[in-house]
A and B are shown apart, each in its own frame.
Chain A
């Protein structure tokens, strides 16, 4: 700025000198021609004309006058704002709130919904799944997807992979690193449109896409792993690397930025899928992705695959299984990453933020309108002095831009803060692992919004002000003059729309608060207080060939149990409501009678639990007993189920006793487990969902020779500790104990059971929090809008009110006069708002639990709140109106 103004000053100075140099030459000339010095000077000055004007016009030819004038307007705008800080702060605060909310929401929407996948033509990549009587199946046996490969004309290729949902360990130079190690088919990378940056991909078989057996023990690293674990080792190819204790040879490194499956916090390495005999029997299943040929729509591909699948399903001899795979479910890979309800939720929240932004804009427009009325005289004077309409509009526009410019900076800060505030919820709900900071596109959009809001808020009053005829404003000469009825009506309309939009937001907020209230009062069936949970990453590769129970779990558990302040501690593959690990138990029944089908339909949550868990969570038993210390490796194997399981198994749960003693699982030769207890209904999977069937096995009884030893004990384990001490003091001690037991355990995640429950409220909680904030802001803005309008009206009408009082109007009448206006606006606004929220709250349906979208209680309560707030806001101006001193008011005339 200073450089620019110095440049201006320089050139202006030069021009001054140039024009002035004219004068002595002219005088000299005239004197040479014989005029007297005095005569010559007068004549020369006369001839030279208006020097200031000459300079003015000349400067205009420079073309930067416009710029200079804008700088002047800017200076003027800043001075204007300084003279009325209250107004400036209100406008800036209002806009910042609106922009901050939209900015924050847009950051999230941008990250979750608009993110672009790092694959070539990512829109062509689709997920292919079989579907049937029991819904969509996530994984497909090779034989079926091979049929698709051979017959489809709409897909250019199909690849398959098998992603583990547990952590693997890569043994590097400096210890073990947690990685995700999906197994992939040989054609996967090519299908995604990429190939290793160093080395080669897996050697594949062209007919099947699977990897040749000679490449079975090879591995491809992601760029991240290559850099962080192996320090960008140039000789990495051919090195032997141990993954979960097994040795692989590195054959390639993928380019930077490539990852698959998309998302996830851990770095990735890929191992090959080599087909085995089991694949001919449809035992292993894989996730299938395909690439659509160009110009093929999703619908036509799905139609074709459904036709093929009808043939494929005929190959299933068992009618039960056949019915599960009769159809096809096709979805773009990008869409499959975000659940439908999540994207709906996000869009609804984004909509709410936009509404808040609109309210802010309306409020600011209303404020600017009032201000332009108050400044009518100033504008009239400027007009009288020769300012053109364009100049006046430009001036007001620049004021608007300055206001919203400052507001957008503040709004950006607010957006960053908001996103930080909700960081935890965003991570758990949307699986976003990178820090969320507004990126360039968000900043650009924010700036765009600012510009739009500045234009919206300034142009209207500016045009209105410029259109006003100069004379009446000048002639009346009093601050109270010159406001039309039309303008009052405009402002009243603005306030009414503000009330309507706020009510809509508040109804949404109210509905979600009720949802949260209901959710919090759902009986969970276990205690959640004073429980610290560690989600352990199990280094099972260290215990290959050894018994992980006796060598890791038992000693660790004993030490934890002896920590001061610890009442009980136990292990469980996954704590209730935890979303880290899932195992499903199904019966291997072959028959097709009604009872068989019921049992085949039964898929139960499968958890391995320690006997002490009863003390930690206090599970309620419907019948029988929970595991106890007598259940050991040497004793009779026992399992515990829940009522939902009983219902699924027997067809009804009226008498849970009937299942006691039933033998459900074989633990090995001659070892069959019997049911010893039935848990009461509990919410272990989700709070909003009904109790799910569940079967629990006892950890001490799962010896290494048990069939499912590895999956039950070696993949995931949560440590739950009941303690009166605060988590912050216990967690470091627990971490130390775990680190001593095995170094990899130090990276385990710690949380509390209360937090796990909180997280499982999920999107409802997040939506409620955000809407609480948006609704609160809307209410605030609304109240401010009503107050602003009425206070302004009362000031405008002081004279009239004084006259009324002088003529005998009661103070209460005058007060009512003002309150009536407020009531009118509030009632109309609420009416429109109720209709709006009736229409829009349906969008919230997926969030709601235990409350209907058009719950009359919520709507009533929210309307009352808004009207109450509005009347309170109107009360102050009304009292001032009633307190007008007639003498004072009339004397101001």
Chain B
């Protein structure tokens, strides 16, 4: 465990950087339907136009954290291709959290946009 310490710190930095946003994105993705980890990753990739590439090292800790917060619930199900996978479903509390996250995000984007005077989309890219 200790051999990997140095590199782990890098990961933790990145997780921190994305934390709030990633949680929000995951919740947003789960709002339409329950999804497994791989599915969420793909959805984020596709929906962001191949821009956002979430790594497993960020995704799984985030999912488990969300579950601990009781914002999502998980269950084992079979995929269409008959493979066992762990599906995550957003809870009522999670939806409330998502709403507040989104409105906060909106405010931040507007604030930053006002300061920089540009379109928010470009700042993300």
A22 contact set on B, CB distance < 8 A: 37-38, 56
Contact A21 B2 (CB under 8 A): no
Pairwise interchain contact B38-A56, C-beta atoms closer than 8 A: no
Q: Do A53 and B57 form a contact, CB below 8 Å, given A22-B37, A25-B83, A58-B64?
A: yes
B64: A residues at CB distance < 8 A: 58, 61-62
What is the total number of residues of chain A having a CB less than 8 Å from a CB of chain B?
Answer: 34
Stretch among A382-390, A424-432, A545-553, A629-637 lining the B interface: A382-390
Residues B84 and A21 in contact, CB atoms below 8 Å apart: yes
* Shortest CB distance A575–B (Å): 76
- B83 contact from A24, A52, A61, A388, Cβ within 8 A: A24
Are A54 and B37 within 8 A (Cβ)? no
Is B56 touching A25 in the complex (CB atoms < 8 A)?
Answer: no
Is there a chain B Cβ closer than 8 Å to A17's Cβ? yes
* Binary flags per residue of B51-66, CB closer than 8 Å to A gives 1, else 0: 0000111001100110
Q: Which of B6-14, B24-32, B105-113, B117-125 contacts A (4 or more CB under 8 A)?
A: B6-14
Q: What is the chain A residue whose CB lies nearest that of B41?
A: A22
Q: A21-B83, A21-B84 are in contact. Are A49 and B61 (CB under 8 A)?
A: no
B 65-95 contacts with A by CB, 8 A: 65, 68, 79, 81, 83-86
Residues of chain B contacted by A26 (CB below 8 angstroms): 38
Across the interface, do A53 and B7 meet the contact criterion of CB distance under 8 Å? yes
A63→B68 contact, CB < 8 A? yes
Residues in B whose Cβ lies below 8 Å from that of A17? 84, 86
**B1: interface (CB < 8 Å):** yes
A21 touches B65 (CB 8 A): no
Cβ of B42 < 8 Å from any Cβ of A?
yes
B42 and A50 contacting across the interface, CB-CB below 8 Å: no
Q: How far is the CB of B101 from chain A (nearest CB, A)?
A: 18
Question: Residue A57 at the B interface, CB < 8 A?
Answer: yes
The residue that B42 contacts in the complex, of A15, A29, A53, with Cβ under 8 A, is A29
Asked, given contacts A21-B83, A26-B38, A53-B4, whether A58 binds B68 with beta carbons under 8 Å apart, the answer is: no
A389 to B64, CA, bound (A): 28
Q: Give A734-780 interface residues, CB cut-off 8 Å to B.
A: none
Chain B residue nearest to A385 (CB atoms) is B2
Which residues of chain A are within 8 angstroms of B12 by Cβ–Cβ distance?
57
- Of B4, B6, B61, the contact of A61 (CB 8 Å cutoff): B61
Q: How far is the CB of B30 from chain A (nearest CB, A)?
A: 16
**Quick one: given A50-B57, A58-B61, are A25 and B5 in contact (CB under 8 Å)?**
no
> Is the C-beta of A295 less than 8 angstroms from some C-beta in chain B?
no
- B-contacting residues, A18-67, CB 8 Å: 18-19, 21-22, 24-26, 28-29, 47-58, 60-63
Q: Cβ of B6: which chain A residues have Cβ within 8 Å of it?
A: 386
Contact B57 A57 (CB under 8 A): yes
Q: Is B3 interfacial (CB-CB < 8 Å)?
A: yes
List the A side residues contacting B85 at CB < 8 Å.
18, 21, 25
Number of interface residues of B (CB under 8 A): 30
Count A-B contacts at CB 8 Å.
Answer: 83
A62 CB to closest chain B CB, in angstroms? 7
Smallest CB gap from B84: residue in A: A21
B1 touching A56, Cβ below 8 Å: yes
A-chain residues with CB within 8 Å of residue B65 when the two chains form the complex: 61
In the complex, what residues of A have CB within 8 A of residue B3's CB?
Answer: 385-386
Whole-angstrom distance between the alpha carbons of A25 and B80 in the complex?
11
Q: Note all chain A residues with C-beta closer than 8 A to B38.
A: 21-22, 25-26
Q: CB < 8 Å: which of A14, A47, A386 contacts B5?
A: A386
Q: Which residues of B contact A51 (CB under 8 A)?
A: 56
A52 to chain B, nearest CB (A): 8
Contact: B36 with A58, CB < 8 Å? Answer: no
Question: Once bound together, how far apart are the Cα atoms of A498 and B8, in whole Å?
Answer: 47
CB distance from A612 to the nearest CB of B (A): 87
Q: Is the CB of A56 within 8 A of B4?
A: yes
Q: Which A residues touch B57, using CB under 8 A?
A: 49-50, 53-54, 57
Partner of A21, one of B15, B36, B42, B68: B36
- Enumerate chain A residues within 8 angstroms of B1, measured Cβ to Cβ: 56
Q: Contacts of B5 on A, CB cut-off 8 Å?
A: 386, 388
In the complex with contacts A25-B38, A49-B55, A18-B60 CB distance below 8 A: yes
* Neighbouring B residues of A14 by C-beta, 8 Å: 86
| Residues of chain A contacted by B15 (CB below 8 angstroms) | 57
Pick from A25, A47, A50, A391 the residue with the most CB of B within 10 Å. A25
24 CB < 8 A contacts A-B? A15-B60, A18-B37, A21-B36, A21-B38, A22-B38, A24-B83, A25-B85, A29-B42, A49-B56, A52-B4, A54-B57, A57-B11, A57-B15, A57-B60, A58-B64, A63-B68, A382-B2, A385-B2, A386-B2, A386-B3, A386-B4, A386-B6, A387-B2, A388-B5
4 closest pairs, A vs B, by CB? A386-B5, A386-B2, A25-B38, A58-B60
Residue ranges of A at the interface with B (Cβ–Cβ < 8 Å): 14-15, 17-19, 21-22, 24-26, 28-29, 47-58, 60-63, 382, 385-388, 391
